[in-house]
Structure 1
Amino acid sequence: MHIVFFLALVALATFCQNLTGFAFGLIFVGIAGATHLLSISDAANVACLLSLVNGVSYLRVHRFTPQWDLLKPMLLSSVIGVVGGVVLLHWLSGNALNGLRMLLGLAIVLCALLLLLQKQAQTQLSGSTSLWLAGLSSGVLGGLFATPGPPMVYHLYRQPFDRLLVRHCLFSMFITCALLRLVMVAADGQITMPVLLWSSMAFPVVTLVTWICAKYPPAIPRRIVEWMVCSLLILSGVSLLVSGWQAGQPEPVVPDNETASRPVPSHLAAARLTAPVSTP
């Protein structure tokens, strides 16, 4: 049953990624973490491997001429951010696992709300500073959770770009971030056998769904697609926030049988017997 749910989740995330150019890592890591299908770290590593497969498959089907004046600052800033995110993950993973889960949930909800509130693209291009900031923050999220989408998605979808160009740029950034993150986490020994087994099961699903979306593109209005994806993002993000908050609450101390049946020391028993009884 876990395998069926896992493969269905991979298919859903791949479908949304091919429609919008983002959301694979957000949906996969968000739902997998919220349902405890995988740990956050394992889900991020699996998402990283699958994002790489998805990106290569997409760009093989949808050929494009790179616009390096746009791609260079995107890729450079995201690479720097990925390095910082992986270092941060290594420092936090043993200290604030629930904090990581809640941070991811908050990032997912904010991304979804920003996209839903956006009515139309800007008429003029934003400056290079905002592009670098979006790349850096996307890279940090990519290093932490293998989800580099939200900041760059919000930035690019606000620009007066063709939507196909936006998807091409996002897939190029995802491939670059995934490759770098994989090298760093593999060097740290985090690409474990379970991660490889889960990923190998999902490879055919990612390739097949990407091919079907290219061969038979669904005729769904863009706004409806955005609402569908953002609704899934909000649900998964809220679930992560709730589960992280509940896991971080202290559990009530309940005495076990041995403690409950242990005899009360004689001096404490005598003190209880001689203690005055208070009256209202």
Structure 2
Amino acid sequence: MRAVTSGPVAASWVTLLPFPLRQATASTLATTPRMAQLPQRPTDDSYPVQAILSEAGPVLVFMACVALATYAQNLTGFAFSLILLGLVSVFHIASVSDTANAATVLSLINAWTYFRARPGVVPWQLMKPALNGSTLGVIVGLVLLTWLSGGAVNWLRGLLGVSILGCAVLLVTQGRPLPVVSGRTSFAVIGGLSGVLGGLFSSSGPPIVFHMYRQPLDRELVRRALLLMFAFNSLVRLVIVLPTGNFSWYSALLAGCAMPVVYVATRLHHRLPNKLQPRTLKWLVGGLLAAAGSTLLASAWTAIAQG
């Protein structure tokens, strides 16, 4: 029941009290703050709609970014996190950590949907050395991240950006792939390097992408191998992040809302495939690698200049 603290109604019932009690009550009412001073909910009927739209807007933009990143991932076998993190940073939708956590879950959904839509051989034997090396590399990268100073990490990030730019140029300019598939040791070393970079900078893709696109393998097999690699890395990252409590509720909200987008975009790509010519695909992959290298180099340069 709402208390009456002021106005004519309050005055009417005060006059009914005995005189001593009437004086005390009137004094109390005079010093009591008016209820109108408390924050009141707007009476406008559009208030709930505006609140919902203000919360839904960033999530809807995030879902559109996920659709574009999923299309690129299905086309080339990588670049999901690269494109998603870049677009989210441009639109200021969420923090880098929340976006990376959501991308971890969505990468698993993308790989699961892709392999269900395109039944075939999952290249476990081909990628097993790289997967083992990547697991060890992630641990090494996380240890280095806690051991190295901020300045050293920034210089390493800049060196990584230059290296990736060089890989992009080599990939585009080379005429033919390797004559034979590289050995297990080569896959293990590249996988370990990818893991280290993933642990340090959350950017494990460029080394293994450059390595796989140089192999004399069918491009569909290359895509499947890369999807397997990134899904495995996402699973390892999720196992590390969840127990530490660094997976926020907003990350879960973004991932949950975007899961249907990843599923539908992957299924549509399967039904309406866009088959690119090998040369066009090579230039597209090289361009994405160059974008990744330029982003790392720019962020390192900015951090070094400010520090």
Q: Under TM normalisation by the shorter chain, which class is it?
A: 0.7 to 0.9
1:85 aligns to 2:141 (yes or no): yes
TM-score (norm 1): 0.75
Aligned to 2:130: 74
| 1:215 pairs with one of 258, 262, 271 | 271
Return the alpha-carbon distance in structure 2 between the equivalents of residues 166 and 213 of structure 1: 17
1:172 aligns to 2:228 (yes or no): yes
1:224-277 CA-partner distances (Å, limit 9, x unpaired): 2343354345345434533443354349xxxxxxxxxxxxxxxxxxxxxxxxxx
Unaligned stretches of 5+ in structure 2?
1-56
| 2:281 pairs with one of 225, 237, 250 | 225
Aligned to 2:301: 245
1:198 aligns to 2:254 (yes or no): yes
Return the alpha-carbon distance in structure 1 between the equivalents of residues 103 and 216 of structure 2: 30
1:45 aligns to 2:101 (yes or no): yes
Is the 8 Å Cα contact of residues 135 and 233 (structure 2) preserved in structure 1?
yes
Pick which of 99-108 and 17-26 moved more.
99-108
Aligned to 2:14: none
Return the alpha-carbon distance in structure 1 between the equivalents of residues 128 and 153 of structure 2: 34
Return the letter of the residue paired with 2:129: P
Classify 1:125/1:205 alpha carbon distance in 2 versus 1 (closer, same or farther; 3 Å).
Answer: same
Aligned to 1:120: 176
- CA drift of 1:213 comes to 0.5
Larger radius of gyration: 2
Is the 8 Å Cα contact of residues 29 and 145 (structure 1) preserved in structure 2?
no
Classify 1:33/1:84 alpha carbon distance in 2 versus 1 (closer, same or farther; 3 Å).
Answer: farther
Return the letter of the residue paired with 1:118: Q
Is the 8 Å Cα contact of residues 85 and 142 (structure 1) preserved in structure 2?
yes
Aligned to 1:264: none
1:143-201 CA-partner distances (Å, limit 9, x unpaired): 34444321111112111111111112111111111111101011222111222122222
| 1:65 pairs with one of 121, 130, 150 | 121
State the secondary structure of the residue aligned to 1:160: coil
Is the 8 Å Cα contact of residues 146 and 178 (structure 1) preserved in structure 2?
no
Return the alpha-carbon distance in structure 2 between the equivalents of residues 197 and 90 of structure 1: 29
Is the 8 Å Cα contact of residues 17 and 23 (structure 1) preserved in structure 2?
yes
TM-score (norm 2): 0.69
Pick which of 153-162 and 26-35 moved more.
26-35
Classify 1:97/1:7 alpha carbon distance in 2 versus 1 (closer, same or farther; 3 Å).
Answer: farther
How many pairs align?
Answer: 251
Classify 1:239/1:81 alpha carbon distance in 2 versus 1 (closer, same or farther; 3 Å).
Answer: closer
Aligned to 1:138: 194
Return the alpha-carbon distance in structure 2 between the equivalents of residues 240 and 207 of structure 1: 30
1:26 aligns to 2:82 (yes or no): yes
- CA drift of 1:37 comes to 4.5
Classify 1:144/1:31 alpha carbon distance in 2 versus 1 (closer, same or farther; 3 Å).
Answer: farther
Unaligned stretches of 5+ in structure 1?
252-280
1:8-45 CA-partner distances (Å, limit 9, x unpaired): 32222111110111111222234444665444433322
Pick which of 31-40 and 49-58 moved more.
31-40
- CA drift of 1:4 comes to 4.6
Pick which of 2-11 and 135-144 moved more.
2-11
Is the 8 Å Cα contact of residues 171 and 214 (structure 2) preserved in structure 1?
no
Pick which of 79-88 and 103-112 moved more.
103-112
Q: Percent identity?
A: 45
Return the alpha-carbon distance in structure 2 between the equivalents of residues 103 and 47 of structure 1: 25
Classify 1:144/1:33 alpha carbon distance in 2 versus 1 (closer, same or farther; 3 Å).
Answer: farther
| 1:188 pairs with one of 244, 254, 264 | 244
Return the alpha-carbon distance in structure 2 between the equivalents of residues 240 and 174 of structure 1: 19
Classify 1:67/1:241 alpha carbon distance in 2 versus 1 (closer, same or farther; 3 Å).
Answer: closer
Classify 1:66/1:85 alpha carbon distance in 2 versus 1 (closer, same or farther; 3 Å).
Answer: same
State the secondary structure of the residue aligned to 1:249: helix
